[in-house]
Amino acid sequence: MTIHDGSSAIVTGGAGGLGEATVRRLHAEGLGVVIADLSEEKGKLLADELADRAVYVGTDVTDDGTLAGAIAAAQQLGTLRYGVITHGGFGGPPERIVGRGGNPADITMFRKTIEIYLTGTYNTLRLVGSAIASADAGADGERGALVMTSSIAGYEGQVGQGAYAAAKAGVIGLTLAAARDLSGAGIRVNTIAPGTMRTPMMETVGEEALAKFASAVPFPHRLGSPSEYADAAMFLLSNRYVNGETLRLDGAQRFQPK
């Protein structure tokens, strides 16, 4: 399994837990990497640490202009062939579609969740995919590959997760259709659906809650690590016969209703 030499990648949400681990892994493999994120401080610190062929670009995945800036930066680092879409971080409190008192959920929160997790993913997919399509094809006709991020909530949404589950299920549904759409351009598309991952954001819940979450994972009895996500992303980017798949990364966990 190899990646194209002299290539570059964009990682949306590249300053966050899963994204940072992916940036580090791709950079270690020799790729130029754009850290596309709204977190300027974290993004610049990571870029400065990695130094050569790593840059931070402030990026809003729902905004074509900032995505264009990330694409241009990646093309300065090498031939843009790869994208990993890990952005997230938005989420209101759990909310039932109809609450116990009979009140309906806030439609504004639903729309915002869909906009960030599903529309933002599609927007990145179409713009980065278009840029990759301009690269020269390899011997097998491949120009590059993209990895999207869903969640096992897209399969087993819990109580109060209606908006998030719908968005992540949308990414799962998009995967095969996107792989088929982009096949003519020689671009593969796959998705990772993580379970409960030990990201910096997750760690804010405290050790007692983390232990409870870990106990729900059949094996291994722990949360997943961002480095394991990065390993999965690297596999999907580099194995040229994997296409249109959603890989559950969850230790055989299946979310219960709550």
Cα 246 from Cα 175, distance rounded (Å): 7
Q: Is the dihedral of CA 7, 12, 13, 17 positive or negative?
A: negative
164 a catalytic residue: yes
Given 56, 117, 164, 229, the catalytic residue: 164
Please give the single-letter amino acid code of residue 87. H
Contact present, 128 and 83 (Cβ < 8 Å): yes
> In angstroms, rounded to a whole number, what is the distance separating the alpha carbons of residues 72 and 7?
13
- DSSP, collapsed to helix, strand or coil, labels residue 129 as helix
- Within 13 Å and on the Cβ side, how many CA atoms surround 217? 21
Cβ atoms of 168 and 160 within 8 Å: the answer is no
Torsion of CA 89, 226, 257, 171, to 10 degrees: 60
Residue of 88, 145, 93 whose CA lies nearest to 118: 88
CA dist 132 and 255 (Å) reads 36
CA–chain centroid gap for 115, Å, is 15
Per-residue buried b or exposed e for 71-99, using 16+ beta carbons within 10 Å of the residue's own CB: bebbbebbbbbbbbbbbbbeeeeebeeee
Active site residues: 164
